[in-house]
Every structure is written in structure tokens, then in C-alpha cells.
């Protein structure tokens, strides 16, 4: 199943995406429309038998919000989780986490976070952090949505905690990322976390074999497969939950493949009016234009 959050009369409405993606079916709990995706995710095991379909809304007339418009907690993100991207990042001179080519590829997952307020929907225009910044870069990523809480989750149990998957653009201001020698400031500015268009439930997706593609103004820049993740999803869940309880609605961005702007020489940063389209098998298209 695919779940989206729509804006209907300026109110959020959680809906199923129909089979042929022609309409959205708002979900009802009793007679009430469900408005909060986090609530649906948290109670899904109990709710799934009870939710009913409301009247369909044609695709073209709906405005999509981010499926979880304001996550309850920071988005958890993984740095350098594809081999070729780790190499391009080290070569670029922007990677303050690697002191030599020898440690370009991490031996354990690198985890950082983005603020919930950075989340925006497909179709939202992306801003620069401020007037002095000019090194905006895209990062196409598979996002994992946690469904079931857990602390100290083992790899063997990890997939039982996954609710579904989503496309994320881990937008980054490279100069800030390099200058401050950490990944939070350059990745948490407003509008830096486009997410959507919808969540596909785990049973809908073969997460080990998904094509991840990113186009800038229709030019293919990133083209990879999730089978090439250095640290797979069970490893990421085991790592993160070691001392931190994962909660329903938590989001893990699994890292970006080779082909980001700083991988080019000279770097190809995003410019005003550039359009970034990210597609992942079965997860639709996330499309945003730079303001
Ligand atoms: Mg990233």
C-alpha cells in the first residue's frame, strides 16, 4: 500500500494512493478522516482492519504535503553509504570526515541528523540558507520509515521494525558542511529535506533492489541501486538503536550514491530555477525547483 498526506481545504488528510495512481482515497477511522500520518503509523497494526475508504480525490486536483509533514524527531541520516560516492566525496576536498584517501570509505556507519522543520513536500521550492550561500547540492536517498519502537534491535529482528519507504533529497550546502567540519548545519536549513511523494509500505517494496535516480533539469546525474549500500538497512537499524530507542515515525535516510554536484570538476552546484527530480522504484517521483 501507498500512503500520502494531502492538503484538502487547508487541512491535512491521510490517503491511500490507488493502484493505477489516478486518485487518492482518504482514510477514515470511524467517521473521522485521518489527518496525522504519524498516528496512523504508530497504531497501524490495530488500525489496519478498522480503517475505511472515504470518497476518492482525483490525482490532478490534490495538493501533496510531505507524507509526514513535521516528523516528531530529527531525521536520522547516513553519510557515505555507497562506495563510489565515498570516493568522490573524499576526492572533492569537501569531506572533513576523511583525513586521507585511505579512510574515504567508513568502517562503521556515519550518522547525523536533520531538523524536522527542514521537511518539505514534492513541488515545494527550495531556498538557499542565506544570501551568501551558493554551494547547494542534491543527494537522492532511500528513506526508511520505522513502524515499531525498539532499543537494541538486532540485525535479525530489524526488518520487523520497518513500516515503509520514501524518497528523500538530503539537500546540502557544501561550503557550510566543509567549513564547520560536521554535517548538521549545512544540511538542516529550512527546505533542506524534501520528502515524498508518498510512503510505500514494506510489503510493497523489495528494498534490496531499488533503482535510485536523480535528474537535474532532465540530465541524469545519479543512477544506482540500493543493493550497493555499504551498510544495509538491518545494519543501520542495529547501529542506531544500540543506545537510542527508535520510535514509530522515525525516518532514516540511507545515504546517497555517486553523482552529486561536488563529484564533478569543477563542481556543478544547483542554481536558481534548476529542477531536481528523484525517482526510486515503486516510490514515485520527488520533484523540487530551486528558488
Ligand atoms: Mg546524504
- Compute, in angstroms, the gap from residue 112 CA to the centroid of ligand 1: 9
Cα–Cα nearest to 21, from 44, 36, 4: 4
- Cα–ligand 1 centroid distance for 22 (angstroms): 31
Tell me, in angstroms, the distance from the centre of ligand 1 to residue 157's CA.
Answer: 25
**From ligand 1's centre to the CA of 154, what distance in Å?**
24
How close is the Cα of 166 to the center of ligand 1, in Å?
A: 14
Hey, CA dihedral for 233, 236, 237, 238, is it positive or negative?
positive
CA of 155 to the centre of ligand 1 (A): 22
Cβ–Cβ under 8 Å, residues 66 and 195 = yes
Separation of CA 199 and ligand 1 centre (Å): 19
- d(CA 221, CA 138) in angstroms, rounded, equals 10
Question: Distance, CA 257 to ligand 1 centroid (Å)?
Answer: 9
What is the CA(141)–ligand 1 centre distance, in A?
A: 7
Taking only the tens of pLDDT, the chain with its 291 residues reads: 999 999 998 999 999 998 787 899 999 998 889 999 999 999 999 998 889 999 999 988 889 999 999 999 999 999 999 999 989 888 888 887 776 777 788 999 999 999 999 999 999 999 999 999 999 999 999 999 999 999 999 999 999 999 999 999 999 999 999 999 889 999 999 999 999 999 999 999 999 999 999 999 999 999 999 999 999 999 999 999 999 999 999 999 999 999 999 999 999 999 999 999 999 999 999 999 999
Ligand 1 centre to CA of 104 (Å) is 15
Closest CA to 253 of 123, 42, 78: 78
For residue 128, give the DSSP letter. Answer: P
Pairing of strands 2-8, 63-65: antiparallel
Q: Quote the CA–CA distance of 135 and 214 in Å, as a whole number.
A: 18
Q: Report domain extents, the chain.
A: 2-64, 75-290
Rounded-to-integer distance, Cα 46 and Cα 223, Å: 38
Question: How far is the C-alpha of 142 from the C-alpha of 44, rounded, in Å?
Answer: 22
Model confidence pLDDT, tens digit, residues 226-244:
999 999 999 999 999 999 9
Residue appearing with cell numbers 553509504: 81
- Kindly report, residue by residue over 212-223, the tens digit of the pLDDT: 999 999 999 999
CA 142 to ligand 1 centroid distance, Å: 10
Distances (CA, A) of 175 to 110, 172, 221, 265: 20, 9, 21, 16
pTM comes to 0.96
Q: How far is the CA of 109 from the centre of ligand 1 (A)?
A: 12
Decide: 256 and 85 in contact? Cβ < 8 Å.
Answer: yes
Query: Please, where are the H alpha helices in 93-196?
Result: 155-158, 174-179
Distance, CA 202 to ligand 1 centroid (Å)? Answer: 22
Distance 256 CA to ligand 1 centre (A): 5
Cα-to-centroid distance, 291 and ligand 1 (Å): 21
Nearest alpha carbon to residue 41 among 159, 202, 194: 202
Q: Which fold has domain 75-290?
A: Fumarylacetoacetate hydrolase; domain 2 (3.90.850)
Amino acid at each position: 500500500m501507498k500512503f500520502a498526506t494531502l492538503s484538502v481545504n487547508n487541512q491535512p488528510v491521510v490517503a491511500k494512493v490507488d493502484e493505477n495512481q489516478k486518485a487518492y482515497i482518504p482514510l477514515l477511522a470511524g467517521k473521522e478522516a485521518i489527518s496525522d500520518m504519524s498516528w496512523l503509523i504508530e497504531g497501524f497494526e490495530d488500525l489496519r482492519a478498522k480503517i475505511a475508504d472515504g470518497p476518492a480525490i482525483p490525482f490532478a486536483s490534490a495538493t501533496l504535503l510531505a507524507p509526514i509533514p513535521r516528523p516528531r524527531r530529527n531525521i536520522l541520516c547516513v553519510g557515505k553509504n555507497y562506495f563510489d560516492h565515498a570516493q568522490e566525496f573524499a576526492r572533492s576536498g569537501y569531506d572533513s570526515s576523511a583525513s586521507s584517501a585511505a579512510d574515504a570509505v567508513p568502517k562503521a556507519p556515519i550518522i547525523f541528523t536533520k531538523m524536522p522543520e527542514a521537511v518539505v513536500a514534492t513541488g515545494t521550492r527550495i531556498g538557499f540558507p542565506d544570501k551568501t550561500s551558493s554551494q547547494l547540492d542534491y543527494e537522492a536517498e532511500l528513506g526508511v520509515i520505522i513502524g515499531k519502537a525498539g532499543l537494541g534491535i538486532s540485525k535479525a529482528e530489524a526488518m520487523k521494525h520497518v513500516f515503509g519507504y520514501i524518497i528523500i533529497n538530503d539537500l546540502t550546502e557544501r561550503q557550510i558542511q566543509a567549513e564547520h567540519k560536521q554535517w548538521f548545519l549545512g544540511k538542516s536549513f529550512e527546505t533542506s529535506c524534501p520528502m515524498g511523494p508518498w510512503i510505500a509500505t514494506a510489503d510493497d517494496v523489495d528494498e534490496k533492489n531499488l533503482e535510485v535516480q536523480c535528474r537535474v533539469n532532465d540530465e541524469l546525474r545519479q543512477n544506482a541501486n540500493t543493493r550497493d549500500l555499504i551498510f544495509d538497512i538491518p545494519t543501520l537499524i542495529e547501529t542506531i538503536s544500540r543506545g537510542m530507542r527508535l520510535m514509530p515515525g522515525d525516518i532514516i535516510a540511507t545515504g546517497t550514491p555517486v553523482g552529486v554536484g561536488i563529484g564533478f570538476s569543477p563542481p556543478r552546484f544547483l542554481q536558481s530555477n534548476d529542477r531536481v527530480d528523484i525517482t526510486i522504484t515503486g516510490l514515485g517521483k520527488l520533484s523540487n525547483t530551486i528558488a
